[in-house]
Amino acid sequence: MEYIGQIAFVIVLGTAIFVLFKRIKRIKSNINLGKDVDIKNNTSERWKNTFLIAFGQKKMFKRPIPAFLHLLIYVGFLVINLEVLEFVLDGLSGQHRIFAPFLGGIYPVLMNIFEFLAVAVLFSCTAFLIRRNIIKVKRFHSREMTSWPKLDANLILVIEIVLMLAILTMNAADQLLQQLNPEHYTATGSLFFSSFLIPLFEGMNTTSLIFIERAAWWFHIVGILAFAVYVTYSKHLHIFMAFPNTYYSTLTPKGQMKNMDAVTNEVNMMLGIQPEGGTPPPAPEEIGRFGAKDINDLTWKNLMDSYACTECGRCTSECPANQTGKLLSPRKIMMDTRDRVEEVGKSLAGGGKGLEDGKTLLHDFITKEEINACTSCQACVEACPVSIDPLDIIYQLKRYVAMEESGSPASWNSMFQNIETNFAPWKFAPTDRFKWADNLKKEEA
């Protein structure tokens, strides 16, 4: 009987680790459905970005109020995880507050800091719930925010609130137990925030207090482990993916589109241009499609982007097309990409048809009307706090439509034709190109 708690804990922890491990493996193989692309250059610049943008939350602070609230949760998450470590060691060893004897006088200070952060997280999550559900901040209620994304967002906030309440409840009951049974319950001194809850439990007998303390402890640690698994199915995965995603984000100017080398080879051949050195270009690797029709045509970085997106909607709220009522929403581009990746990954894992299920990212998830509304102004790229690039996906989808389907809008096809025949996007004679200077050359200076 003595070890029953420890055995139960090992089973719970083992199950959580097993499920998490499987989910991480799946997400990794899902991301690898994307095309390979070499992103290794300039590591110092990449670490700098990761430090400033991901760890330092630099881009979040373009909007100071949500940035501050988010910072409290972020710091709370980082620091409270230290307490989770103690929970795990306690659970495995059957001890209580295993760190207390080692840390001595520092322990109560740490506990007070944890409690402060727990209250800060409570405050921020409540404020976020109010912003979403009462103030109804516009970007949380646009078209792509259907029932699941809305529920997901609210669940995350409610779960975090409940988990923090469990810590405070546990500490309140624990403080009373320290007075009743000082031998077993290590003195922590008075804990500022949980002391406010003590009146709720005062006068209870030891058995009830032990029950409350243990229930809160189990609730918190099982809750955390369950939440960790939940996160891998949720937009909340950004708490991990934001870091690699920022590390691998583009370093070139935002205006620069990636060159399609497969096209360059063909263009050089058509124009009879010999590559430098006079040797013919190496046979291109399997060209596949020009542009992207489905997720396997995108790069692994595009797919990683979709897992890093927490659907905050800053991109969409700055998108000129979206803000003037067009269908395009950069956030939806990311959500659709992730939905499609998850769908294909799940199908493949179950021995299903995967990519060959008759659906594609373009058309079945993202329509031409959406991508045709893009002004490639890069406001979405600029706005993203974790440097996601929805525009890169839009460009690749547009390339597929133009080059594989010849499905561009008629006026774009005319523009293409004008460039081909008149060397200008408008239908003007090339011989008239220099006419602007005719009168100027006669004008008195």
Enumerate residues 340-379 that contact other proteins by CB under 8 A.
369, 372-379
From 267, 269, 346, 352, residue interacting with other proteins (rule: CB under 8 A): 267
- Rounded to the nearest whole angstrom, what is the least distance from the CB of residue 42 to other proteins in the complex? 16
Give the tokens for residue 86. 């103690």
Q: Which residues contact 14 (CB under 8 A, 6 or more apart)?
A: none
- Residue 186 or residue 414: which is nearer to other proteins going by CB? 414
Would you count residue 103 as binding other proteins (CB under 8 A)? no
- Rounded to the nearest whole angstrom, what is the least distance from the CB of residue 338 to other proteins in the complex? 23
Residue in 188, 190, 121 with CA at minimum distance from that of residue 161: 121
**Cβ distance 122 to 161 under 8 Å?**
yes
Give the tokens for residue 73. 């949760």
Residue in 441, 445, 385, 359 with CA at minimum distance from that of residue 71: 385
Would you count residue 272 as binding other proteins (CB under 8 A)? no
From 35, 162, 244, 266, residue interacting with other proteins (rule: CB under 8 A): 266
Give φ, ψ of 342 to 5 degrees: -60, -40
Q: Is the dihedral angle over the CA atoms 252, 254, 256, 257 positive or is it negative?
A: positive
- Residue 219 or residue 395: which is nearer to other proteins going by CB? 395
Would you count residue 98 as binding other proteins (CB under 8 A)? no
**Cβ distance 407 to 401 under 8 Å?**
yes
Residue in 213, 228, 221 with CA at minimum distance from that of residue 85: 221
Would you count residue 290 as binding other proteins (CB under 8 A)? yes
Would you count residue 255 as binding other proteins (CB under 8 A)? yes
From 68, 201, 247, 416, residue interacting with other proteins (rule: CB under 8 A): 416
- Residue 232 or residue 378: which is nearer to other proteins going by CB? 378
Would you count residue 102 as binding other proteins (CB under 8 A)? no
Would you count residue 127 as binding other proteins (CB under 8 A)? no
From 254, 281, 352, 421, residue interacting with other proteins (rule: CB under 8 A): 254
**Cβ distance 69 to 124 under 8 Å?**
yes
Part of the chain binding other proteins (CB under 8 A), chosen from 160-168, 205-213, 251-259, 338-346: 251-259
- Rounded to the nearest whole angstrom, what is the least distance from the CB of residue 376 to other proteins in the complex? 3
- Rounded to the nearest whole angstrom, what is the least distance from the CB of residue 281 to other proteins in the complex? 13
Would you count residue 282 as binding other proteins (CB under 8 A)? no
Would you count residue 395 as binding other proteins (CB under 8 A)? yes
Would you count residue 279 as binding other proteins (CB under 8 A)? no
From 103, 165, 229, 403, residue interacting with other proteins (rule: CB under 8 A): 403
* 370-393 CB burial, b ≥16 within 10 A, e <16: bbbbbeeeebbbebbbbbbbbbbb
Rounded Cα gap, residues 87 and 80, in angstroms? 11
Would you count residue 123 as binding other proteins (CB under 8 A)? no
CA dihedral of residues 268, 271, 275, 276 (deg, nearest 10)? -140
From 271, 278, 282, 283, residue interacting with other proteins (rule: CB under 8 A): 271
- Rounded to the nearest whole angstrom, what is the least distance from the CB of residue 403 to other proteins in the complex? 6
Q: Is 350 helix (H, G, I), strand (E, B) or coil?
A: coil
Residue in 34, 19, 100 with CA at minimum distance from that of residue 304: 34
Residue in 265, 299, 270 with CA at minimum distance from that of residue 285: 265
Looking at residues 150 to 189 of the shown chain, list those that interact with other proteins (rule: CB under 8 A).
Answer: none
Part of the chain binding other proteins (CB under 8 A), chosen from 142-150, 202-210, 225-233, 248-256: 248-256
Residue in 103, 96, 94, 57 with CA at minimum distance from that of residue 77: 57
Residue 36 corresponds to which amino acid? D
**Cβ distance 238 to 386 under 8 Å?**
yes
Part of the chain binding other proteins (CB under 8 A), chosen from 152-160, 182-190, 313-321, 353-361: 313-321
Would you count residue 408 as binding other proteins (CB under 8 A)? yes
Would you count residue 204 as binding other proteins (CB under 8 A)? no
Would you count residue 398 as binding other proteins (CB under 8 A)? yes
Would you count residue 2 as binding other proteins (CB under 8 A)? no
Binding mask 32-71 for other proteins (x = CB under 8 A): ------------------------------x---------
- Count of alpha carbons within 13 Å of 44, Cβ hemisphere only? 0
Rounded Cα gap, residues 328 and 306, in angstroms? 16
Would you count residue 441 as binding other proteins (CB under 8 A)? yes
